[in-house]
Amino acid sequence: MRNLFLTFIIVLPNILYSQIEGYVYGAIDGKDKTPLYAADVFFKKSGKGKTTCDQGRFFFELPPKLPDTLIIRAMGYHPDTIPIAKLDKDVYLEITLFPTSELDEVVIKKKRDNSMFLRLDARNTEVLNAGELRKAACCNLSESFETNATVDVNMNDGVSGTKRISMMGLDGAYTQIQFENFPILKNLALASGLNSIPGTWINSIQITKGTGTVVNGYESMVGLINLEYHKPDDMERFYFNAYASNQGRGEVNIHSGNQINEKWSTGVYAHASTAQFEMDRNNDGFRDIPIGEEYVFMNRWKYQGKNNISQFGIKANHSEKIGGTIGFDPRGATQDNYGVTIRNNKVELYGKNGWTFEDHPYRTFGMIYYAKYQELSAIYGRRNLNAEEYRGYLNLLYEDILGSTIHGIKAGASFVFDDLNQTLLDNIPAGVMQNDLIRTEIVPGAYTEYTYSGLRTTLVAGGRLDYHNMFGWQGTPRFNMKYRINEDMDLRATVGRGFRVPNYAVDNLSLLATNIPWNVQNDLLPETSWNAGLSWYYEFKIANKKASFNIDYFHTYFTNQLIADRDEDPTQIIFKNLSGVSFSNVVQADFRIEPVRGLEIKTAYKFLDVRATMGGMIMEQMMVPRHRGFINAGYVTRNKRWEFDITGSVFGRQRLAPVVLPDMSISQDNRSGIMHNVNAQITHVFKRFDFYLGGENITDFRLMNPIIDVENPFSQHFDATRVWAPIVGINVYAGIRIKLD
């Protein structure tokens, strides 16, 4: 009876309202066709209609008075008309328009938002396009989120210069980061992976809240970030970006695409950056930012056949960052100098193949494969971490429809191999300790997913079953639903389980920036959690100006979690399985409006309630602000020659780690202040190049004393992990972009 009731609730809205939906295509050379974006589809009498999305799709309610004539038109194509009689059922159409001339190319231009919520997706997904990424210096992935409120980026500690991201108040380890559906930031890559992804290579970023779908694997626990790089067959023939800042950072990014013939294309990508200035504005004897260099190279290929597409490539990067006391040089270091050296070398091979079937146009088969070798060396004072990792990944995917496009099915199998060899050596006042982590993970799995695409309701329900050679069977159910209340309003719901095997050292690498000993308990278990969320999206107009509002609530509950407990005994850091509760409650509201042509304003507010059992009590998680405010304004002049952007953020107070004072008492001042940050940029666009000038943290808000017991870096009280605000202050930068199409 319950199942019957649920079915009735889902299907009823699609019965009460007659809808029209379909796709608009443009003919190419009289044979092939491509989806038409921004084609107008409307009724002649009532004027009711919509424009098509990126996939050429449209859908809206039929007008109350029929018959009427449906008009379909797009710039550069002959319009078409279709009479629609009064029907008691929904209308589905596939329409092909033909070019108005025999020109080789028809260019259709229409302004699209730099960031948008995907209304057709059942998941809660926001897309950042290339226009959004231009708003900031955007030199690596971590800096690509400066104009976004969903993802937070913070400093890891006060000596290494590394950054971490967080979603829903939880560390970035619980957010799965992919490159075009390849899982890339895993295990050792978490240490400095954000810095090894140049922002100028990225064409778009999709940010999904919640666990996502089972196709992407089992490790997405609170969110999914998918990166789309510029493709070889549609990117610039030559792109050059140079950047320099008053903090001594210089950077060059290059990518180039080449269409070899009708089927083959290739792309070359290169990145080089360096920082050689020793800055110490707070005069504590430590570098505010590390010096060093980074080099990244990638070559990718694409084959476009009649019934198959293949892409493959190789990426390699090398980086070395040196921090610590002024003048520290790892080649001539002495026992009196506190230094930080992080070396990272990585090689990645990846590829994917997709096949279609002429007799079954909706049936596809795909294969994704990925391999990585990485070595990491991290030295914090007298604490050394040396690690080596071999990783392999394979995903096979079959997709088809069940009777009609309303019902879709996906099924597949995956295989993960991860061989990790890791040694942590401590030579601190508490004594010499060595922790080894040597493990080999072998995880075969299978999954299936069903999609129902009604005119008002979209359901995505799936499950996967994986067998972990160390922890046995793991089931991962996930469910996403979108209900279209009307043409301007959507309601979404999601629930799902996540599973990951933690790496206590790399996941908490910043905690090496203390001399507090680690106590790692035996038999650490995998982290498992449930995530559920609701979202309401509304598009409307204010004074005839387009606006939108989105509010969502997400709850994450851990059934097990790796806890770095600093409250039970502040003289040590205890790594243990969860004993008690751990959860996150997040409410985020976003409002957007374009009050005048060319001016876009985005505001957001986020409330975070993140707690876990530590020291036998339910405590706030450290380094998580309960409140965050955000505003971004971007203006583009009518002639497209000038672009202006400014972003302001306010972060509320955070709980800090307790500190053991020299008299062995525990500090009582364990809350941060309120932090604010303002970034701005101006870009002037010429015919073949852009020049930009900007500033980060232009109010020069700084944490003046980020390190505890800085005069004695090898004492048991030294601690550089209580960093809740910038250390370096204002950063003024300038750059140039050169593009040859």
Q: For 41-57, how does the pLDDT look when each residue is reduced to its tens digit (9 = 90+)?
A: 988 888 788 888 877 88
pLDDT at 437 over 80: yes
Bridging pattern class, strands 518-520 and 573-577:
parallel
> Which residue range(s) make up the domain with 348?
115-740
Question: Residue 499: what pLDDT?
Answer: 95
pLDDT at 4 over 60: no
Q: Which tokens go with 723?
A: 């960093």
Task: Count CB neighbours of 404 within 10 A.
Answer: 10
**Residue 248: what residue type?**
G
pLDDT band at 129 (very low <50, low <70, confident <90, very high): confident
7 within some domain: no
pLDDT band at 89 (very low <50, low <70, confident <90, very high): low
Give the whole-angstrom CA distance, residue 121 versus residue 210: 13
pLDDT at 90 over 80: no
Beta strand ranges found along 79-132 (DSSP E): 80-84, 91-97, 115-117, 124-129
Q: Which of 308, 312, 313 is nearest to 263 (CA)?
A: 308
Question: Residue 110: what pLDDT?
Answer: 53
Question: Residue 118: what pLDDT?
Answer: 85
pLDDT at 406 over 70: yes
pLDDT band at 88 (very low <50, low <70, confident <90, very high): low
Average of per-residue pLDDT across 142-146: 82
106 within some domain: no
Q: Which tokens go with 453?
A: 């695409």
Q: Does 333 lie in the same domain as 289?
A: yes
Q: Is there a contact between 500 and 527 (Cβ–Cβ < 8 Å)? A: yes
pLDDT at 11 over 70: no
- Of the given ranges (36-45, 414-423, 464-473, 551-560), which has the lowest mean pLDDT? 36-45
Q: Does 651 lie in the same domain as 620?
A: yes
480-502 core/surface letters (b: 16 or more CB in 10 A; e: else): bbbbbeeeeebebbbbbbbbbbb
176 within some domain: yes
Give the whole-angstrom CA distance, residue 529 versus residue 472: 17
**What is the tally of helices (H) and strands (E) in the chain?**
2, 43
End-to-end CA distance of the chain: 61
- The pTM (predicted TM-score) of the whole model is 0.84
DSSP 345-367: EEEEEEEEEEEEETTEEEEEEEE
Give the whole-angstrom CA distance, residue 396 versus residue 398: 7
Question: Residue 358: what pLDDT?
Answer: 79
393: β partners: 370, 416
Give the whole-angstrom CA distance, residue 320 versus residue 293: 6
Average of per-residue pLDDT across 706-712: 90
Q: Does 163 lie in the same domain as 84?
A: no
pLDDT at 17 over 80: no
Question: Residue 512: what pLDDT?
Answer: 92
Q: Is there a contact between 678 and 646 (Cβ–Cβ < 8 Å)? A: yes
pLDDT at 158 over 90: no
pLDDT band at 146 (very low <50, low <70, confident <90, very high): confident
334 burial via Cβ count (<10 Å: 0-12, 13-18, 19+): exposed
Q: Which backbone phi and psi does 534 adopt, to 5 degrees? A: -130, 145
Q: Which tokens go with 235?
A: 């990117």
Give the whole-angstrom CA distance, residue 622 versus residue 612: 10
503 within some domain: yes
Question: Residue 87: what pLDDT?
Answer: 62
Task: Give 350-397 pLDDT, tens digit per residue.
Answer: 999 999 887 887 899 999 999 999 999 999 998 999 999 999 999 999
| Domain boundary residue, one of 55, 70, 97 | 97
pLDDT at 446 over 90: yes
Question: Computed over its alpha carbons, how large is the radius of gyration of the chain?
Answer: 27
pLDDT at 253 over 90: yes
Q: Does 654 lie in the same domain as 615?
A: yes
pLDDT at 101 over 60: no
Can you give the CATH number for the domain in which 629 is found?
2.40.170.20
Any residues with CB less than 8 A from the CB of 20 and at least 6 apart, and which? 58, 59, 60, 61, 62, 70, 84, 90, 91, 92, 93
Contacts 24+ apart (CB under 8 A), 285-288: 285/325, 285/326, 285/710, 286/158, 286/159, 286/323, 286/324, 286/325, 286/326, 286/338, 286/707, 286/710, 286/720, 287/159, 287/323, 287/324, 287/325, 287/326, 287/328, 288/727, 288/728
pLDDT at 136 over 80: no
pLDDT at 12 over 50: no
pLDDT at 15 over 50: no
Can you give the CATH number for the domain in which 75 is found?
2.60.40.10
Question: Residue 3: what pLDDT?
Answer: 47
Strand order in the sheet with 518-520: 518-520, 573-577, 562-565
- Of the given ranges (113-127, 540-554, 638-652), which has the lowest mean pLDDT? 113-127
Task: Give 638-692 pLDDT, tens digit per residue.
Answer: 988 999 999 999 999 999 998 877 777 777 678 999 999 999 999 999 988 999 9
Average of per-residue pLDDT across 447-452: 96
108 within some domain: no
Q: Does 257 lie in the same domain as 305?
A: yes
| Domain boundary residue, one of 97, 124, 156 | 97
pLDDT, averaged across the chain: 88
Q: Does 130 lie in the same domain as 91?
A: no
Question: Residue 6: what pLDDT?
Answer: 42
Q: Does 69 lie in the same domain as 184?
A: no
Q: Does 77 lie in the same domain as 164?
A: no
Question: Residue 10: what pLDDT?
Answer: 40
146: β partners: none
pLDDT band at 30 (very low <50, low <70, confident <90, very high): low
107 within some domain: no
pLDDT at 63 over 70: yes
Q: Which tokens go with 605?
A: 């507010």
109 within some domain: no
292's enclosing H/E stretch is strand 291-304
pLDDT band at 111 (very low <50, low <70, confident <90, very high): low
Query: How many domains would you assign to the chain?
Result: 2
pLDDT at 431 over 90: no
**Residue 18: what residue type?**
S
| Domain boundary residue, one of 65, 97, 129 | 97
Q: Does 158 lie in the same domain as 76?
A: no
Q: Does 135 lie in the same domain as 77?
A: no
pLDDT band at 64 (very low <50, low <70, confident <90, very high): confident
Average of per-residue pLDDT across 228-257: 92
pLDDT at 18 over 60: yes
Q: Does 212 lie in the same domain as 313?
A: yes
Q: Does 372 lie in the same domain as 404?
A: yes
Q: Residue length, the chain?
A: 741
13 within some domain: no
